C-alpha cells in the first residue's frame, strides 16, 4: 500500500493552498493535454458515445430546438461534442474550473472518425454528416470558434450548484465521471437542482465512478479501499481538494434521484468481489450489492 499512501500524501500537499491547487491544475492540463493530443484515446470513450446515441434514439431523437446540458465537461466536452456530430441541438457546457484542452479535443474527434464504417460501430448513423462537421471543427482555431459553429455556450461556476442556469429548460442532462466529485454535503441539493433544470419528462444520462480513485496509483489495494476507513480517518489521511471523491454509495445515489422526482429507466452497474475486505461499520447499512458496486450508470427521467 506504499504507493496508495504516497499518492494520497502528494495530493494532500497540492491541496494545501489556492496557489498549490492552481499549480496542480496547470501542470495537469499541460502534461495531460500533450499526452491526449498525441496519444491514443481511451477505448471507453467510444462506449460512452454508443450508449449516449442509443439512449437518445430510444427515448426520442434530439431536435434543433432542444437544449442539452453537459455537467463537468472537463477536457474535450466529449458527451455533447460527439452527439452533436449526429444530431442538431444547442448545448450548455457547465464546469467549476477550466480544464479545456483544444489539441486533445481535435485529436479525439479525429480518432473517432477513424472508426466510422467499422462493423458494429454506430450502425445506421449518418457518417457523412458527421465527417462534414468534423471538417468544420478541424478548421476552428479556438474554443469560441467551436462554440459558435456548434451552438454551444460555456459556463464556469465555481459554486458547482448549477443554480445560475434556467429552470424547466433542458431536454437532456449528461455527466460522466462527475457526480462522485460533488461534495457529499451538497449532493442531495445538486441532484434536486438538476431536476429543476430539466423540462417535463427530460432525461438524465449519468456515469458515476464509485471506486477509490487512489486505486489508480496502486492496484494492489481494493478497488474500494476507502470503505475500510472511518470518516475522520479518511479526512485526515486521504481526503484532498484536487481529486476529491465523496464516497457516496449506490443506494444513496438511487435514493437521492428518487427524492428529487426522477424515475430510473435503466441501471447498468459494474461490480468487484470485495469479500474479505474489512468494511468500516459506518457502511454496514448498505447492501452487499451497494458495497460491491464500483460503477453506476443511470438513465433517469424527470417525473
pLDDT band at 125, cuts 50/70/90? very high
Banded pLDDT at 87 (limits 50, 70, 90): very high
Q: For the chain, what are the domain ranges?
A: 2-302
pLDDT at residue 88 in the model: 96
Mean pLDDT along residues 130-139: 98
Instruction: Determine the average pLDDT of the residues in 79-105.
Output: 97
Q: Is the pLDDT confidence value at 185 over 90?
A: yes
Q: How far is CA 194 from the centre of its chain?
A: 14
Question: Left if phi > 0, otherwise alpha if psi is -120 to 50, otherwise beta: which for 29?
Answer: alpha
pLDDT in tens, 35-48: 999 999 999 999 99
Alpha helix (H) residue ranges in 60-201: 78-84, 102-113, 127-139, 143-150, 187-197
Q: What is the DSSP string of 240-263?
A: -SSS------HHHHHHHHHHTTEE
pLDDT in tens, 250-275: 999 999 999 999 999 999 999 999 98
Average pLDDT for 79-100: 97
- Supply the pLDDT for residue 129: 97
- Say what the pLDDT of residue 45 is: 96
Contacts 24+ apart (CB under 8 A), 19-24: 21/241, 21/242, 24/242
For residue 35, what is its C-alpha cell? 499526452
Tell me, what's the pLDDT at 194? 98
Residue 27 is predicted with a pLDDT of 93
| Listed residue (230, 219, 211) closest to 279, CA to CA | 230
CA 9 to the chain's CA centroid: 25
The whole-chain average pLDDT of the chain stands at: 96
Section 51-62 average pLDDT? 92
d(CA 144, CA 147): 5
What is the reported pLDDT for 44? 94
Query: So what's the architecture of 2-302 in CATH?
Result: 3-Layer(aba) Sandwich (3.40)
**pLDDT in the model for residue 61:** 83
Mean pLDDT of 56-85: 95
**DSSP reduced 3-state for 155:** strand
Mean pLDDT computed over 217-228: 97
Q: For residue 147, what pLDDT is reported?
A: 98
Which pLDDT score is estimated for 248? 98
End-to-end alpha carbon distance in the chain: 45
pLDDT of 60 reads 82
Check whether 84 has a pLDDT greater than 90.
yes
Whole-number Å distance between alpha carbons of 226 and 280: 9
SS3 content of the chain, % helix, strand, coil (to 5): 45, 20, 35
Question: Is 170 in a helix, a strand, or coil?
Answer: strand
- % of the chain surpassing 70 pLDDT: 100
- Per-residue pLDDT of 141-182, as tens digits, reads 999 999 999 999 999 999 999 999 999 999 999 999 999 999
Amino acid at each position: 500500500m506504499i504507493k496508495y499512501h504516497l499518492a494520497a500524501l502528494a495530493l494532500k500537499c497540492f491541496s494545501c493552498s489556492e496557489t498549490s491547487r492552481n499549480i496542480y491544475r496547470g501542470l495537469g492540463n499541460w502534461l495531460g493535454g500533450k499526452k491526449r493530443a498525441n496519444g491514443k484515446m481511451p477505448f471507453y470513450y467510444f462506449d460512452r458515445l454508443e450508449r449516449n446515441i442509443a439512449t437518445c434514439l430510444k427515448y426520442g431523437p434530439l431536435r434543433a430546438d432542444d437544449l442539452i446540458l453537459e455537467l463537468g465537461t472537463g477536457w474535450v466536452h466529449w458527451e455533447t461534442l460527439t452527439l452533436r456530430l449526429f444530431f442538431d441541438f444547442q448545448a450548455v457546457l457547465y464546469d467549476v474550473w477550466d480544464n479545456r484542452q483544444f489539441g486533445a479535443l481535435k485529436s479525439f474527434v479525429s480518432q473517432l472518425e477513424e472508426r466510422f464504417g467499422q462493423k458494429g460501430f454506430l450502425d445506421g448513423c449518418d457518417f457523412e454528416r458527421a465527417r462534414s462537421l468534423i471538417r468544420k471543427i478541424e478548421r476552428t482555431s479556438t474554443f469560441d470558434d467551436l462554440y459558435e459553429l456548434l451552438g454551444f455556450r460555456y459556463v464556469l461556476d465555481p459554486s458547482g450548484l448549477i443554480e445560475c442556469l434556467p429552470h424547466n429548460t433542458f431536454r437532456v442532462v449528461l455527466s460522466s465521471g462527475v457526480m462522485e466529485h460533488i461534495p457529499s454535503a451538497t449532493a442531495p441539493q445538486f441532484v434536486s437542482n438538476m431536476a429543476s433544470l430539466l423540462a417535463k419528462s427530460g432525461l438524465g444520462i449519468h456515469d458515476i465512478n464509485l471506486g477509490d480513485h487512489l486505486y489508480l496509483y496502486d492496484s494492489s489495494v481494493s478497488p474500494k479501499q476507502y470503505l475500510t476507513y472511518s470518516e475522520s480517518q479518511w479526512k485526515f489521511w486521504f481526503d484532498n481538494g484536487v481529486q476529491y471523491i465523496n464516497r457516496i454509495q449506490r443506494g444513496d445515489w438511487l435514493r437521492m434521484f428518487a427524492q428529487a422526482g426522477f424515475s430510473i429507466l435503466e441501471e447498468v452497474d459494474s461490480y468487484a468481489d470485495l469479500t474479505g475486505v474489512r468494511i468500516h461499520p459506518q457502511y454496514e447499512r448498505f447492501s452487499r450489492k451497494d458495497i460491491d458496486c464500483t460503477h453506476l450508470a443511470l438513465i433517469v427521467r424527470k417525473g
